[in-house]
């Protein structure tokens, strides 16, 4: 009976169904929270976990370039020019290459607690061979992509790629020039010569007490130095080598332009201390990536115009469709990929669909996100409501003769975070477009739902008119 209740627009039946929705949502949150506890082997509490959680990942990236910065999500700067293209604007996708500096590459000197410095050349590849891979069975010469550890490392880059407008590509070549920060002319990647973001490693500060695991230069340096003396940490294969992968993904975050944040009531990847209670970028991290490089749908020509609208579907009676279904999650699991946003006040997201017969469409747009405390490292934290970062708008449009726009309807506000267009009659043989835009110059995750029903025949209408009454009477009887 739920679908019939959904068609009713007033009365108790709807409010009962709405309450059911809330209960279902709560159940989902509980389930995610339970998984979170299982994964960390700890109760459902934040900031708990194995002793390694005391290990500082780094001091927040190295050698910040002077730059405007974007006042949200601790974004320092972003990649403009890369090995693959010229400068792009905030919110635009980028292609970045990554690769390995050969062992023996000169790295920066590392100050030690006793006042001395160490200046070891890179030994990352032999470190990965011996501590992460299977030295007994791996071919320890030749192409690095054949090593058993290669997919573990690659997975860190691929995860950022599938969550945002960033496209990471492996660059197999490296000319071995010293890794020296974000001012040298060799910081730039060059196709066929070296990657935009090079991986290296050597002794930084050992592995006892609170110590550094790795560091990474902000754009446009982007290179990483891993502490290869942290052998017990990195050789731990728990959860598909999550320690190594979370450090890589955290450092990549600096390499994408993100500084540390701290949150005393949520867990985010860009916090300064390592946690293995979650896997990869969390909501604040995803928001930062979208703000800087757009969501995944901005790639390959994007969705800012009718011509490149994302095809939602060709709908028949009873069809429903949704996008952005993971945005409301409490903990981002590695299996989740469905995050979409408006990344500023110029981003436009278009979706195209058709109907196969005269139909009624319901479109609802929900700003998704939760509230958590956040602030700069060692700074004051305050609550951030990520469902209210920008007020989003929707419109249902139609192209007439490929030029003009016929706007059928704009969204009506149903709650502070929801806009909807309901019961609009559409015809077959036309392309319809849903347009999503943002009012504020900020990033906002959203979920968009479409539901299509055939225009009821007169006889069907009569039956539907009675349905809510039948539903109510049954409920009273129960
Ligand atoms: Ca570089
Ligand atoms: Ca260390
Ligand atoms: Ca977008
Ligand atoms: Ca867009
Ligand atoms: Zn019902
Ligand atoms: Zn860091």
Asked, for residue 85, whether it belongs to a domain, the answer is yes
Question: How many A from CA of 426 to the centre of ligand 1?
Answer: 52
CA of 4 to the centre of ligand 5 (A): 6
Ligand showing the shortest atom-to-Cα distance for residue 19: 5
Q: How far is the CA of 214 from the centre of ligand 6 (A)?
A: 8
Closest ligand by atom to 215 CA: 6
* 3-class secondary-structure state, position 58: coil
Cβ-contact 75, 254 below 8 angstroms:
no
Instruction: Kindly state whether residues 86 and 198 are assigned to the same domain.
Output: yes
Give the pLDDT score at 67. 36
Q: Which residue has the higher pLDDT, 459 or 398?
A: 398
- Say if residue 220 is in the same domain as residue 250: yes
Ligand nearest to the CA of 254: 6
Q: Is 167 exposed, middle or buried (0-12, 13-18, 19+ CB in 10 A)?
A: buried
Distance 299 CA to ligand 4 centre (A): 9
- DSSP code string of 110-166: EE-TTS-EE-PPP-HHHHIIIIIS-TTTS--SS-GGGSTTHHHHHHHHHHHHHHSSE
Of the listed ranges 26-30, 173-177, 401-405, 411-415, the least confidently predicted one is 26-30
Q: How confident is the model at residue 57 (pLDDT cuts 50, 70, 90)?
A: low
- Which pLDDT score is estimated for 80? 80
Return the pLDDT at 422: 97
* Residue 163 and residue 73 in one domain: yes
Lowest mean pLDDT among 124-128, 183-187, 405-409: 183-187
Note whether 287 and 318 are same-domain residues. no
Assess if residue 474 is contained within a domain. Answer: no
User: How far away, in angstroms, is 241 Cα from ligand 2 center?
Assistant: 17
The Å distance, Cα 419 to ligand 3 centre, comes to 17
**DSSP state, 283?**
H
Give dist(CA 174, CA 140) in Å, integer.
18
Spacing, Cα 292 to ligand 1 middle (Å): 18
How far, rounded to the nearest angstrom, does the alpha carbon of residue 410 sit from its chain's CA centroid? Answer: 28
Among the candidates 292, 310, 333, a domain finishes at 292
pLDDT at 388 over 60: yes
Query: Measured between alpha carbons, how far is 47 from 44 in angstroms, rounded to an integer?
Result: 10
More confident residue, 473 or 383: 383
* Segment of 20-24, 82-86, 206-210, 334-338 carrying the highest mean pLDDT: 334-338
CA of 282 to the centre of ligand 1 (A): 25
Residue 449, number of CB atoms within 10 A of its CB: 16
Q: Which whole-number Å values give the CA distances from 213 to 95, 210, 269, 274, in the listed order?
A: 27, 10, 14, 9
**Interval between CA 100 and ligand 1 midpoint (Å):** 11
Domain of residue 310, CATH code: 2.60.120.380
- Give the residue carrying structure tokens 């006892």: 208
Say yes or no: 215 and 337 in one domain: no
282 and 411 both lie in a single domain? no
Does some domain include residue 99? yes
Q: Specify if 473 maps to a domain.
A: no
DSSP string, 376-443: ETTS--EEEETTSSS-EEEEEEEEETTTEEEEEEEPEEEETTEEEEEEEEE-TTS-EEEEEEESSSS-
Q: How far does the centroid of ligand 1 lie from the alpha carbon of residue 185, in Å?
A: 9
- Mean pLDDT of the chain, nearest integer: 83
**Residue 151: inside a domain:** yes
Length of the chain: 478
Task: Point out the ligand nearest to the CA of residue 271.
Answer: 6
| Whether residue 350 sits in one domain with residue 229 | no
Q: Final residue of a domain: which of 250, 275, 292?
A: 292
Q: Is residue 1 part of a domain?
A: no
When pLDDT is cut at 50, 70 and 90, the band that residue 62 belongs to is: low
CA of 246 to the centre of ligand 6 (A): 11
User: pLDDT digits over 26-37, tens only?
Assistant: 222 222 222 222
Pairing of strands 310-315, 382-385: unpaired
Q: State pLDDT tens for residues 217-233.
A: 998 889 999 999 999 99
Q: Which ligand is nearest to the CA of 251?
A: 6
Structural domain contains residue 9 = no
Q: How far is the CA of 254 from the centre of ligand 6 (A)?
A: 6
Residue 2 in domain: no
Protein residues with C-beta less than 5 angstroms from the ion ligand 4? 303-304, 347, 349
The residue range of the domain holding 368 is 301-464
Q: Which ligand is nearest to the CA of 180?
A: 1
297 alpha carbon to ligand 2 midpoint, in Å? 38
Does pLDDT of 348 surpass 90? yes
Question: Are 362 and 450 part of one and the same domain?
Answer: yes
pLDDT for 265 beyond 60: yes
Q: Name the residue with tokens 């860190």.
A: 156
Residue that terminates a domain, selected from 292, 316, 342: 292
**Among 354, 217, 341, CA closest to 287:** 341
Q: Among residues of the chain, what percentage have pLDDT more than 90?
A: 69
444 CA → ligand 4 middle, Å:
12
226-257 confidence digits (pLDDT tens) = 999 999 999 999 999 999 999 999 999 999 99
Residue ranges with CB less than 5 Å from ion ligand 2: 205, 211-212, 227, 230
Domain co-membership, 168 together with 206: yes
Report the C-alpha gap between 453 and 115 in whole angstroms: 73
Q: Are residues 327 and 346 in the same domain?
A: yes
Report the separation in Å between the CA atom of 87 and the middle of ligand 3, taken as the mean of its atom positions: 19
Model pLDDT, residue 209: 85
189 contacts 88 by C-beta, under 8 angstroms: no
Q: Where does the pLDDT of residue 50 fall: very low under 50, low under 70, confident under 90, or very high at 90 and above?
A: very low
At 1 the pLDDT is 29
Residue 21 CA to ligand 5 center (angstroms) comes to 12
- 405 or 474, greater pLDDT: 405
Report d(CA 390, CA 440) in Å as an integer: 5
Whether residue 95 is found in the same domain as residue 236: yes
Q: Do 82 and 219 meet the contact criterion of CB atoms below 8 Å apart? A: no
Summarize pLDDT for 423-443 with one digit per residue, the tens: 999 999 999 999 999 999 999
Over the Cα atoms of the chain, what is R_g? 25
3-state secondary structure of 447: strand
CATH code assigned at 280: 3.40.390.10
In degrees and rounded to multiples of 5, residue 104 shows phi and psi of 100, -10
* Beta strands 166-170; 94-100: pairing state: parallel
Looking at the structure, do residues 223 and 342 belong to the same domain, yes or no? no
**Number of structural domains found in the chain:** 2
Question: How many angstroms does the Cα of residue 273 sit away from the middle of ligand 6?
Answer: 8
Residues lying with their CB under 5 A of ligand 5, a single-atom ion? 1, 5, 471
Q: Which of 240, 308, 259 is nearest to 58 (CA)?
A: 259
What burial letters (b/e) apply to 381-409, b meaning 16+ CB within 10 Å? eeebebbebbbbbbbbbbbeeeeeeeeeb
């Amino acid at each position: 009976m739920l679908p019939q209740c959904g068609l009713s627009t007033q009365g108790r039946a709807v409010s009962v169904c709405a309450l059911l929705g809330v209960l279902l949502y709560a159940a989902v949150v509980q389930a995610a929270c339970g998984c979170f506890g299982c994964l960390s082997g700890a109760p459902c509490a934040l900031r708990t976990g194995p002793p390694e959680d005391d290990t500082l990942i780094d001091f927040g990236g190295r050698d910040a370039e002077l730059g405007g910065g974007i006042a949200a999500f601790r974004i320092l700067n972003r990649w403009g020019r890369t090995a693959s293209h010229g400068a792009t604007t905030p919110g635009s996708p980028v292609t970045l290459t990554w690769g390995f500096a050969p062992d023996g590459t000169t790295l920066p000197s590392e100050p030690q607690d006793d006042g001395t410095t160490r200046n070891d050349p890179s030994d990352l590849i032999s470190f990965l061979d011996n501590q992460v891979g299977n030295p007994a069975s791996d071919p320890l010469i030749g192409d690095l992509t054949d090593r058993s550890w290669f997919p573990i490392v690659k997975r860190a880059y691929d995860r950022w790629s599938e969550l945002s407008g960033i496209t990471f590509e492996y660059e197999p070549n490296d000319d071995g020039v010293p890794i020296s920060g974000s001012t040298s002319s060799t910081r730039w990647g060059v196709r066929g010569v070296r990657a935009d973001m090079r991986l290296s490693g050597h002794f930084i500060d050992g592995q006892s007490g609170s110590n550094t695991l790795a560091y990474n230069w902000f754009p446009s340096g982007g290179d990483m130095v891993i502490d290869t003396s942290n052998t017990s940490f990195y050789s731990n294969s728990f959860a598909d080598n999550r320690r190594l992968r979370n450090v890589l993904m955290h450092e990549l975050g600096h390499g994408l332009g993100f500084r540390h944040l701290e949150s005393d009531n949520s867990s985010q990847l860009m916090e300064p201390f390592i946690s293995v209670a979650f896997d990869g970028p969390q909501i604040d991290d995803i928001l930062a990536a979208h703000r800087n490089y757009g969501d995944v749908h901005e790639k390959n020509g994007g969705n800012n115009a009718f011509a490149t609208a994302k095809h939602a579907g060709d709908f028949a009676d009873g069809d429903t469709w949704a996008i952005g279904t993971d945005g409301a999650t409490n903990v981002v699991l590695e299996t989740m990929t469905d995050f979409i946003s408006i990344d500023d006040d110029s981003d436009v997201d278009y979706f195209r669909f058709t109907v196969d017969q005269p139909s009624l469409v319901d479109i609802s747009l929900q700003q998704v996100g939760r509230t958590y405390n956040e602030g700069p490292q060692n700074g004051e934290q305050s609550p951030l409501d990520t469902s209210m970062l920008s007020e989003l708008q929707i419109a249902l449009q139609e192209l007439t003769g490929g030029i003009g726009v016929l706007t059928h309807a704009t969204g009506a506000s149903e709650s502070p975070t929801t806009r909807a267009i309901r019961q609009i009659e559409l015809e077959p043989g036309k392309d319809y477009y849903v347009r999503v835009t943002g009012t504020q110059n900020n990033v906002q995750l959203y979920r968009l739902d479409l539901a299509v029903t055939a225009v009821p025949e007169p006889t069907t209408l009569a039956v539907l008119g009675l349905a809510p009454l039948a539903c109510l009477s049954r409920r009273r009887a129960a």
